[in-house]
Structure 1
Amino acid sequence: MSSEDKAALIETLGRTVMRWQDATQKFDELVGHIYGLSASERLCLSFLWPGPQTASAIAREIRLTPAAVTTLVDRLEKRGYVRRKADPTDRRKVMVEAAESAHELTAQVYLPLGAAGAKMLEKYSMAELGMVDKVLSDAMAIQEQAVANLLAIHNSEQQD
């Protein structure tokens, strides 16, 4: 493969990733519209999928103030998507966990998408899947660094 061919393929991949990001955003926005969930609420529910989290962990993950997270959790709790519970190791801490209705929403909307993706990935070899994992992990690291850089610029401009 020539360097021009490689450059063209990299450009094509870049456009494909942009279209994939747009498609993902459209899907998530449609879920939000249908179920009445804001972007922050969807991010919170996604963050709670693996298990309960503290409000401060939620605030760090979705970049909201603790007061804004309290309001967000209040809204989600009122709608039955989350519940608060005491931390079993420190009764002074409150944990937030996804409630059954959040799991039902995920099962109805996101699990079929995940299953379709898993079925699509079955056609690839272990080596190809390893490469996809590496590329996606590297891309996420770049994206996370871009977020950190943008926040640093924004925060320094706010202080000026």
Structure 2
Amino acid sequence: MESIMNDSKNLSTVSILFHQTIADRLGLHITDHKCVDFLFTQGPQTAGEISKTMGLSTGAVTSLIDRLEKKGLVERKNDPNDRRKVRIFLTQDLAAMQKIGSLFESLAKSVWEQLSGYTAEELKVILDFTRKSIRIMEEEREKLLRNRPDV
């Protein structure tokens, strides 16, 4: 089990470094890159929702959104269900999204090839481990966010 724990830690570090490299290639801060990813997977969000999910101050999120707007990656729009709210949407800039996607193509292909070497039963175990690991990480992060000292 110690080997799995160590390798999980190494995977986490390599993942962070990979995403930092992607962000660098896009001319973004890593936080900005992960915000784009968050909006891509979760859909339009309010600045408050981004702040809560990413653990950033509202001021930091405002600056983040401003930077992404300048890059043409997001836009602020009134919420269609509540005009008092403003939601952050990814733009329809196909070229920008294709550029981001192209940076992940090789990784996705390699991971797909790796996974194709496992049986259906082995894939169930991998999926179970992955989902439980995500849940544990989210729970531990929430604990840290709840218990962080005022800085």
Q: TM-score band (shorter)?
A: 0.7 to 0.9
What is the CA deviation profile of residues 118-152 of structure 1, one whole-angstrom value per residue up to 9, with x for unaligned ones?
Answer: 22211212211111111111112222222223334
Instruction: Provide the rounded CA distance (Å) in 1 between the counterparts of 2:106 and 2:77.
Output: 30
- Residue 56 of structure 1: aligned partner: 48
The one-letter amino acid of 1:138's match is K
User: Does 2:31 match 1:40?
Assistant: yes
**Range with greater deviation from structure 2 (44-53 or 144-153):** 144-153
Indicate whether 1:146 and 2:140 are aligned.
Answer: yes
- Match of 1:69? 61
How many residue pairs match? The answer is 148
Q: Which residue of 1 aligns with 2:76?
A: 84
Shift of 1:34: 2.4
> Which residue number corresponds to residue 20 of structure 2?
29
Q: TM-score normalised to the size of structure 1? A: 0.82
Find the aligned partners of 2:106 and 2:88 in 1 and give their Cα distance. 26
Tell me, in whole angstroms, the C-alpha distance in 1 between the residues paired with 2:83 and 2:145: 34
**What is the alpha-carbon distance in structure 2 between the residues aligned to residue 31 and residue 13 of structure 1?**
26
> Secondary structure of 1:154's match?
coil
Out of 97-106 and 42-51, give the one that drifted further: 97-106
Gaps of 5+ in 2: none
Aligned pairs (5 A) from 1:75-114:
75-99=67-91, 100=93, 101-114=95-108
Retained in 2: the 8 A contact 1:82–1:97? Answer: yes
Give 1:45 shift.
0.7
Letter in 1 for 2:129: V
Unpaired segments of 5 or more residues in structure 1? 1-9
Letter in 2 for 1:147: R
Runs of 4+ in 1 over 3 A off after TM superposition: none
Question: How big is the shift at 1:58?
Answer: 0.8
Output the aligned Cα RMSD.
1.9
In the TM superposition, what are the counterparts of 1:107-146 in structure 2 within 5 Å? 107-146=101-140
Q: 1:33 to 1:77 in 2, by over 3 A?
A: same
Report the TM-score, using the length of structure 2 for normalisation. 0.86
SS at match of 2:72: coil
